[in-house]
Amino acid sequence: MKKKQLNIFAFTITSIIIFLWCTKSLCLNWVEVNEKYAEVTVNFLLPMQQQDIDKNIYIESEFESENKFDYTYEWLSKCVLLLKIKENNQIRGQKVKLYIKDAPSIHTWLKKTVHIPVQFKAPVEILSPTEELLIASNNSFVVTFNTPMNLNKISKYIQCEKKFNIIPAERPNKAGKKSIDATRFIFTPCEPLENNTIYKVVFKKGMPSRSGSFLEKAQYVTLKTDEKPEIISTYPKDQDKWIGLYPRITITTDRPIVKAMLQLEGQLIEGKLSDNYHATFVLKEMLTPDTTYDAKIQVQAASGEKSDIKHIAFTSTSIDKDRLWAEIIIGKPSELKIYKGTKLIRQMNCSIGADKYEPVVGNYYILDKQPAYEDVSHEEGANYWLPISEQLGFQGVIRDDRWHIKNCIANTIGARTDRNNIILEENDAKWIYENIPIETMVIIRK
């Protein structure tokens, strides 16, 4: 008998717990939506504690960055709450989640939780582009709506003389997970468009949004394809010969560009723009003597429009077995190497300018020889001056106006300096002065 009573008691307690659990989430609700706001009525089926109910109300947007909502509420009875919710986002017509969490009833031990989906409505508009859009002939462009659109029907309401592949964009959340953004669509031409041509993409009346609203009148996006930039000159020119082993390859274009790329012997090098029409390429490695190269160069305008690939063939200079030439490798420390043909005959450290004093990499030639030079403005000078440009040359250690060796960082051979010149130990500078002739090729690289 006791066992039977115990079972009845356990069943009763379990039933009460189940009832309370069901009661916790059991509510009646209905939603009415117009283009201004949504009305949500919630019947909790129990008298509620009405004060400060807003502390239990949460609205979760489907877009983390578009989570601005205003709402007001009033109690229609002890059990019934009326909420009026308004969207304050650029993206409207969202499907949001309304949560009322742990709202207390008059029985303090019993709290109510309800989750209500709300689909807002909004008239369909195109947010961007609203002005003529300059694009590349084969690049994509993005159209942004003010409300999530019906993914399955958007392509049926688009008219243009050219066909586009249309896919929704993706939007990452704070955790980095991506989801479909039904407000933004990527249009990619199925085949390249004509350059310097205007196209109109018409979005026809009746295009449906996800919330059931429709585009009330036709809208259009105007596209203009950019002109193709052209590379009008290069150094080296096509079929040039006797090109230095570390040339600065340069190009000039007929139109403004934002990017230039060079492909050479497996190297892919991005050019440095000196202005909107000129780019310079610095090679990663020296060229091999007496070798013909095929360089491929392409530039890109701000719109993304790319030029045709420019091919230039050039042949590097030959190095006879008795020819002297020099190589400077900028580093820590910087090194000067002297070659005879392909044989390294002398190697020494040197000091080279840093930051704004760092020499431009490329090919140089010894222009002159002087036993010494003086810098009157700084009251200093040096022995063994071999200029390779107007502002750059080899020299010995720095001396003061009495020709004593100065105690300065520039004379710590191998250090980076605030001088333009290439500073050598005195005996190394003397050897260069005595053994290296004028017009000797000097390569400076990193």
Residue 389 CA, chain-centre distance (Å), reads: 38
In a domain, 11, yes or no: no
In the chain, pLDDT over 70 holds for what percent of residues? 94
Distance CA 126, CA 241 (A): 57
Clarify whether residues 367 and 388 are in a common domain. Answer: yes
- Asked whether 236 and 299 are in contact (CB, 8 A), the reply is no
Clarify whether residues 338 and 397 are in a common domain. Answer: yes
In a domain, 245, yes or no: yes
Identity of the residue numbered 238: D
Containing structural domain, residue 186:
126-225
**Residue owning tokens 């502002």:** 391
Q: Is the peptide bond before 371 cis (omega within 30 degrees of 0)?
A: no
The answer, yes or no, to whether residue 429 has pLDDT greater than 70, is: yes
**Residue owning tokens 């947007």:** 61
The answer, yes or no, to whether residue 6 has pLDDT greater than 80, is: no
**Residue owning tokens 């390779």:** 388
> Which of 193, 225, 257 lies at the terminal end of a domain, its last residue?
225
Specify the pLDDT at position 35. Answer: 87
Mean pLDDT, range 397-418, rounded to an integer: 91
β-pair partners for 39: 32, 84
The answer, yes or no, to whether residue 18 has pLDDT greater than 50, is: no
Beta strands, E only, 27-163: 28-33, 38-43, 57-60, 69-75, 80-87, 95-104, 111-119, 126-128, 133-135, 141-145, 158-159
DSSP state of 154: G
Output the pTM of the full model.
0.74
Name the band, by pLDDT with cuts 50, 70 and 90, for residue 23: low
pLDDT in tens, 214-258: 999 999 999 999 999 999 999 999 999 999 999 999 999 999 999
Angstrom distances, CA of residue 47 to CA of 24, 50, 76, 104: 13, 9, 11, 9
Distance CA 242, CA 249 (A): 14
Distance CA 309, CA 316 (A): 22
Rg of the chain on CA atoms, in Å = 38
Q: Is the peptide bond before 437 cis (omega within 30 degrees of 0)?
A: no
Mean pLDDT lowest among 25-39, 210-224, 431-445: 25-39
3-state DSSP call for residue 192?
coil
3-state DSSP call for residue 435?
helix
Angstrom distances, CA of residue 381 to CA of 146, 375, 405: 71, 5, 10
Distance CA 282, CA 119 (A): 58
> Which of 176, 203, 225 lies at the terminal end of a domain, its last residue?
225
Specify the pLDDT at position 173. Answer: 78
- Asked whether 147 and 213 are in contact (CB, 8 A), the reply is yes
Distance CA 436, CA 339 (A): 11
Structure token digits, residue 408: 């300065």
Q: Is the peptide bond before 129 cis (omega within 30 degrees of 0)?
A: yes
Mean pLDDT lowest among 103-112, 158-167, 299-308: 103-112
Average pLDDT, the chain: 92
Clarify whether residues 237 and 214 are in a common domain. Answer: no
Clarify whether residues 423 and 335 are in a common domain. Answer: yes
DSSP state of 376: G
Clarify whether residues 275 and 358 are in a common domain. Answer: no
Distance CA 2, CA 294 (A): 99
Mean pLDDT, range 271-278, rounded to an integer: 96
- Name the residue among 76, 82, 23, 34 with its Cα closest to residue 57: 82
pLDDT in tens, 134-182: 999 999 999 999 999 999 899 999 999 999 999 999 988 777 788 899 9
DSSP state of 71: E
pLDDT in tens, 54-103: 999 999 998 888 889 999 999 999 999 999 999 999 999 999 999 999 99
In a domain, 17, yes or no: no
Mean pLDDT, range 43-50, rounded to an integer: 92
Name 419's Cβ contacts closer than 8 Å, sequence gap at least 6. 351, 353, 357, 398, 410
> Which of 287, 316, 345 lies at the terminal end of a domain, its last residue?
316
In a domain, 151, yes or no: yes
Mean pLDDT, range 301-329, rounded to an integer: 95
Clarify whether residues 89 and 151 are in a common domain. Answer: no
Number of independent structural domains in the chain: 4
Distance CA 148, CA 81 (A): 29
Specify the pLDDT at position 218. Answer: 95
What CATH number does the domain containing 80 carry? 2.60.40.1220
Distance CA 100, CA 51 (A): 14
Distance CA 77, CA 81 (A): 7
Among positive and negative, which fits the CA dihedral 367, 372, 376, 378? positive
H or E, element range at 251: strand 248-253
Clarify whether residues 78 and 41 are in a common domain. Answer: yes
DSSP 327-361: EEE-SSSEEEEEEETTEEEEEEEEBEE-GGGSPPP
Identity of the residue numbered 350: C
The answer, yes or no, to whether residue 1 has pLDDT greater than 90, is: no
Mean pLDDT, range 22-34, rounded to an integer: 80
Mean pLDDT, range 113-120, rounded to an integer: 94
What CATH number does the domain containing 430 carry? 2.40.440.10
In a domain, 196, yes or no: yes
**Residue owning tokens 């993914």:** 151
In a domain, 16, yes or no: no
The answer, yes or no, to whether residue 355 has pLDDT greater than 60, is: yes
